Amino acid sequence: MNLLAVDTSTEACSCALWMEGACREIFELAPRRHGELLLGMVESLLADAEMSRGALDVLAFGRGPGSFTGVRIATGMVQGIAFALDIPVAPVSSLQALAQGVSRELQRDSVLAGFDARMQEVYWGVYRKAPEGVTEPLLAESVCPPASAPVPQDGEWFGAGSAWSSYRDTLVDAVGDRLAGVDAERYPHAQDVAVIGAVAASQGRVVTADEALPIYLRDTVTRGKASGNP
């Protein structure tokens, strides 16, 4: 299976090519430059692999939560390619991808992933590594005040994402002595979107191009409110 993954849900912009388990990625911190960079990244990645778009079997993308504008950029690109090639899409939670990256790089299996959602709220997810190697949600993702972010009552947890920078004291107090560490400067990577997407595709959990939609968690999101996001 050849799978192309993209994520532009935060300040980071990345794409990855998953080829039967081998993965290549291009990653750059590029606030407000996602639309400028993403297509070139994808074309460069395919060229380096000597692969045409027609060789792709499935697409995956970070479907949010995250930046309103950023998530729309990834969604639009994936929909366009999927329509043109008539291939399926695996939408992947950007919070889950963040947790997957923590597991992959830091060997932390229990992750409290959070993004600053502005308006004194956080996008929040609770994840634990499953036996097959993919982090799975223990609770439904939510948007909430940081003081109300749900934390399981057992085990040690590692905090990751911009929520831990913006609301560190509040979140640290909520977890207490069960907090094993924090990396507030960590971002989702397309290679982790690819891994999660490949598992979803192998299990048939894919959608058509017109069903590949973003998730914002809030009922109403306006461009004005999201203008501070990348």
Domains plus CATH for the chain? 2-93+188-211 (3.30.420.40), 94-183 (3.30.420.40)
Nearest partner of 197 among 85, 112, 82, 47, judged by Cα:
82
State pTM to two decimals: 0.93
Give the Cα-Cα-Cα angle 11, 85, 3 (nearest 5 degrees): 50
In this prediction, residues 97-112 reach a mean pLDDT of 97
Nearest partner of 111 among 131, 125, 90, judged by Cα:
125
Q: How confident is the model at residue 131 (pLDDT cuts 50, 70, 90)?
A: confident
Residue 52, SS3? Answer: coil
Q: Judge residue 154's burial from the number of C-beta atoms within 10 Å of its C-beta, 0-12 exposed, 13-18 middle, 19 or more buried.
A: exposed
Q: Is residue 223 over pLDDT 50? A: no
Query: What angle, 0 to 180 degrees and rounded to 10, lies between the N-to-C axes of helices 94-106 and 190-202?
Result: 110
Q: Spell out the residues 6+ positions from residue 119 whose beta carbon is closer than 8 angstroms to its own.
A: 225
Percentage of the chain exceeding pLDDT 90: 90
120 phi-psi bin (left φ>0, alpha ψ -120 to 50, beta other):
left
DSSP string, 217-229: SSS---TTTTTT-
In this prediction, residues 156-160 reach a mean pLDDT of 98
At 219 the pLDDT is 55
In this prediction, residues 12-29 reach a mean pLDDT of 96
- Torsion sign over Cα 123, 113, 160, 192: negative
In this prediction, residues 112-133 reach a mean pLDDT of 95
Q: Is residue 230 over pLDDT 50? A: no
Q: How confident is the model at residue 88 (pLDDT cuts 50, 70, 90)?
A: very high
In this prediction, residues 71-94 reach a mean pLDDT of 98
Mean pLDDT of all residues belonging to the chain: 93
In this prediction, residues 77-99 reach a mean pLDDT of 98
Neighbours of 60 (CB within 10 A): 32
| Residue range 23-40, pLDDT digits in tens | 999 999 999 999 999 999
Q: Alpha carbon 59 to chain centroid distance?
A: 14
d(CA 11, CA 32): 7
Q: How confident is the model at residue 99 (pLDDT cuts 50, 70, 90)?
A: very high
Percentage of the chain exceeding pLDDT 70: 95
Across 70-109, b (16+ Cβ under 10 Å) vs e yields bbbbbbebbbebbeebebbbbbbbbbbbbbbbbbbeeebb
